[in-house]
Amino acid sequence: MKLFIKKMVCISCQLVVKFELENIDIHCTTIGPGWLETCEPVSAVQMEKIKIALQKAGLELIDDKKTILIEKIKHAVLEIFSKPDTILKTNFSYYLSQKLNLDYTYLANVFSETQGSTIENFVITNRIKKVKELICNKELNLTEISWKLHYSSVAHLSTQFKKVTGITPSRFKHLECNGLLPSPMCEL
């Protein structure tokens, strides 16, 4: 049985979920960001135990189809940024449409309706978070960061970064390196 779990995006969350489920004698065959499959069907009593175990871990079981779709969209977008060496050969709308096997207009409408924001804004916000992370890591220069995150140029990255954060990437790097940023600025 496939279950969808809100906020389960990292390996640590996946391990916690697996541990919590094993404690209530439910075993996973596979687990990924935002989902898991159990070895056997789950009863209503077990489902309640799962909900309680997930709440202890700060996570939530999703059973609404639109919410599941939103989580799939978010995970598909985040997947691109988690594979930094992957070159996106198509645009995000085509990628999402292919990945989720649904029309992009439908995906965009459901996302906007339930999130109060567009998929494009979600993509931009998460791209900028990844740019901040890479700047904070100090391993790559802006040209390398723009390439890894599929920007057409450093100028495009810089313009978008300034529009979202209010400062340039260079200024961010200077402030971050000197410890002058308030903590939410570098928060990921």
pLDDT in tens, 36-60: 888 888 888 988 888 888 888 888 8
For residues 108 and 128, membership in a common domain is answered with no
Which residue among 45, 63, 81 closes a domain? 63
For residues 33 and 85, membership in a common domain is answered with no
pLDDT at residue 187 in the model: 46
The mean pLDDT of the chain is 85
For residues 97 and 146, membership in a common domain is answered with no
pLDDT at residue 85 in the model: 57
Taking the CA atoms of residue 144, residue 149, residue 152 and residue 156 in that order, the dihedral angle to the nearest 10 degrees is -90
pLDDT at residue 11 in the model: 82
- What is the percent of the chain where pLDDT is above 90? 32
- The whole-model pTM stands at 0.74
CATH number reported for the structural domain that contains residue 139 in this entry = 1.10.10.60
CA dist., res. 172 & res. 158, Å (int): 11
For residues 91 and 128, membership in a common domain is answered with no
For residues 19 and 59, membership in a common domain is answered with yes
Distance from chain centroid for Cα 125:
10
For residues 16 and 54, membership in a common domain is answered with yes
pLDDT in tens, 16-28: 888 888 888 888 8
Distance from chain centroid for Cα 147:
20
Average pLDDT over residues 145-172: 92
Work out the pLDDT band at 186, boundaries 50, 70, 90: very low
Read off the amino acid at residue 125.
Answer: T
For residues 18 and 50, membership in a common domain is answered with yes
For residues 110 and 133, membership in a common domain is answered with no
CA dist., res. 84 & res. 60, Å (int): 28
Per DSSP, the three-state class of 31 is strand
For residues 179 and 147, membership in a common domain is answered with yes
pLDDT in tens, 89-110: 567 888 899 999 999 999 999 9
How many domains is the chain built from? 3
Owning domain of residue 84: 72-118
